[in-house]
Amino acid sequence: MKPGTPGEGLGRDGARAANGPREGGVTALELEQRLGHVFGKPALLELALTHPSVTHDLGAGTPHNQRLEFLGDAVLQLVLTLELYEKFPDLGEGPLTQARAEMVNRRTLATQSRAMGIGEFLRLSRSEESTGGRERSSALADAFEAVVGAIFLDGGLPAARRFVLQRFREAFGQLVALPSFHNPKGELQELLQAESAEPPVYQLIAMSGPDHDRSFECAVSYRGEELGRGSGKTKKAAESEAAREALVVLRARSASASASASASASATGGGVV
């Protein structure tokens, strides 16, 4: 059974132990380990992964994840707002609002979903699937918020808070300082130089538009791997956007690795059932 096919769901068959590897290689239990939360009500996770497009195949009354997305957005905002409020007591509303906006944007949420492999489990209509919906940033960002909502309903605010802070503490340096992307190229180079003196490489991918209104697309790579792309009205702006995306990708990877290590340690100690 392939994850994400309309009508199939996660294929739990009423028992977690019955979940074996499926096409694509990832089981529902492994997804829960990546999330760091084992659902007492698995139907909530399935609903969170159900894209609104399924109504085209299964009928207008088919439940989907928009309501959970609405709830998850509020929970996400609450958790991060409280964390920022408590971590930075000397800052006013303006800087705190800016910091929260930098942390919670569609690009960041989509990157978080990609790092956890959520796209593989999305339930989509056939037409949405055929047009690349499984990798569409908007669908992935919505699914991330819906998963937050599902965890909140399943485990309450403490569980949702653990999940959110696990993802965002890793992605934004443990929140000991306000997240800032004002100099993304400098931040990216500093992050990469912790591993090697080799600098990131920026490449102009494309230019478009008339001379008076040019748009540039640039990519940034490190050791032969492309980490991000960005667009802008100048080459410098496009490089900055590419660096910004690379920072989100690298920090999300770090969060995913930490969550997987924590889940593995819990499983070894009997913490996962």
Give catalytic residues, as residue numbers: 73, 145
Q: What are all long-range contacts of 55-62, with beta carbons under 8 Å and residues at least 24 apart?
A: 55/125, 56/125, 56/127, 56/128, 57/6, 57/7, 57/125, 57/126, 58/6, 58/7
d(CA 110, CA 118): 10
d(CA 227, CA 266): 31
**219 by DSSP, 3-state: which?**
strand
d(CA 55, CA 44): 18
Q: Are 88 and 119 in contact (CB under 8 A)?
A: no
d(CA 248, CA 187): 11
φ and ψ at 183, to 5 degrees? -130, 70
CA angle 33, 118, 226 (to 5 degrees): 110
CA atoms within 13 Å, Cβ hemisphere of 129: 16
How far apart, in Å, are the Cα atoms of 16 and each of 87, 121, 163, 217, 265?
39, 16, 21, 46, 19
How far apart, in Å, are the Cα atoms of 209 and each of 71, 135, 216, 234, 238?
40, 27, 9, 12, 15
Length reported for the chain: 273
- β-bridge partners, 271: none
